Structure 1
């Protein structure tokens, strides 16, 4: 099921300009009061020259830590999305166990502590009074890159043979646990993959969006099609 959000309005979805979390709770700080921000539009020249580090089912990906311009950079969730979008990409959407394994392998081989995904909690304007999203911690998660709802967090997703959400975290309960809300009132509304931060292996965690992390970008068919349609003859 798709969340009802027309593509052009997606540019304004970042009214959600949240802050992003780093994984460990001891990295928590007070979120900054950044003004509302928007999603970036693709940059045709950058799309044509986008990094193509590895490929899965015809889609290109890159890890920010392997690019000179982002090697030492960590970005909050929205800034990470925008970095990807300028290349006609978006934060990675993990829809199959095979794709999940690719992400896990990259994290493990590179000894990466955590990465952002496009996973997002529908807890902003437009998500109110939606019975199908309640309770939010179970039914309210979606992939922002495709606006597809995720499987309920307490169930094994289709094409998986296990639940990728961690069984523990700061509160020592199954994820998502919205742990930071109890500390400073900030919702953990973005999905990161953490590398054994809670002695739980590589697994999914909800994190406040203001934290800063490296990220994986994945081709966005929507943005690539848009740039192809508006830039005759461009080679993507």
Structure 2
């Protein structure tokens, strides 16, 4: 057991050495990229278009959560926010069709300044939100209204060390290698990593994954204010 944990500690330490710490901010939209954005899927209810990075020139390229988000934002989009079961099923279908290991969403843990409000406690249950839309994510231990089941996995990496499954989010990487970088503060959809099907997991944001972008009302409104003659195509 001890040797196993030491092995993973070394692995994560090596991973830390490759992390970019440039202090970059989130990107702003660019007119030419907004109008050239890929449009793979359409939600007729919202009018939002989506695209999967694996169907574009990015191919098998994988990005950190922030890099992926900035790619989306430059196109008047953001990482996908799975606010409805229909969106979740769309992402599951993409993962199955293209046999993707995992993808980034805009899901984020509120673990920074201003996140100490009582209604966000405990953070691992009530402190998650969609950074793409600003909407809160229902408590991680509950099934949201309109959903058939809870999309968070009921198991994960830590389950192998104890007698019963440890549900997501479990912040496993941080517990093995404590640092500001290894906190599992971003939400990915993973493809059967723990024989659990396609489910939600928390993940360290520096990890690289493929991604799905979604039209962003926030980005579009920003463009309309800063470029009055802008027409999104």
Shorter-chain TM-score category?
0.7 to 0.9
Aligned to 1:235: 231
Q: 1:45 deviation in Å?
A: 1.2
Aligned to 2:55: 66
Which of 1 and 2 has greater Rg?
A: 2
Aligned to 1:203: 199
- Given the alignment of the two structures, is residue 177 of structure 1 paired with residue 170 of structure 2, yes or no? yes
Q: 1:33 deviation in Å?
A: 5.4
- Given the alignment of the two structures, is residue 149 of structure 1 paired with residue 132 of structure 2, yes or no? no
TM-score using structure 2 length: 0.86
Q: 1:105 deviation in Å?
A: 0.4
User: Unaligned 5+ residue runs, structure 2?
Assistant: 1-8, 160-165
Distance (Å, rounded) in 1 between the aligned partners of 2:113 and 2:139: 21
Q: 1:150 deviation in Å?
A: 0.7
For the aligned residues, what is the CA RMSD?
1.7
- Give runs of ≥4 in structure 1 deviating > 6 Å: none
Aligned to 2:94: 106
Aligned to 1:215: 211
Q: 1:125 deviation in Å?
A: 1.7
Q: Is the 8 A contact 1:92 1:118 kept in 2?
A: yes
Q: Is the 8 A contact 1:116 1:215 kept in 2?
A: yes
Q: 1:148 deviation in Å?
A: 1.1
Cα gap change, 1:43 to 1:27, in 2 (>3 Å): farther
Aligned to 2:114: 126
- Given the alignment of the two structures, is residue 76 of structure 1 paired with residue 64 of structure 2, yes or no? yes
User: Unaligned 5+ residue runs, structure 1?
Assistant: 1-24
Q: Is the 8 A contact 1:190 1:206 kept in 2?
A: yes
Q: Is the 8 A contact 1:30 1:184 kept in 2?
A: no
TM-score using structure 1 length: 0.85
Q: Is the 8 A contact 1:151 1:158 kept in 2?
A: no
Distance (Å, rounded) in 1 between the aligned partners of 2:212 and 2:108: 15
Deviates more, 1:75-84 or 1:219-228: 219-228
Residue of structure 2 aligned with 1:48, choices 27, 35, 38: 35
Cα gap change, 1:234 to 1:27, in 2 (>3 Å): farther
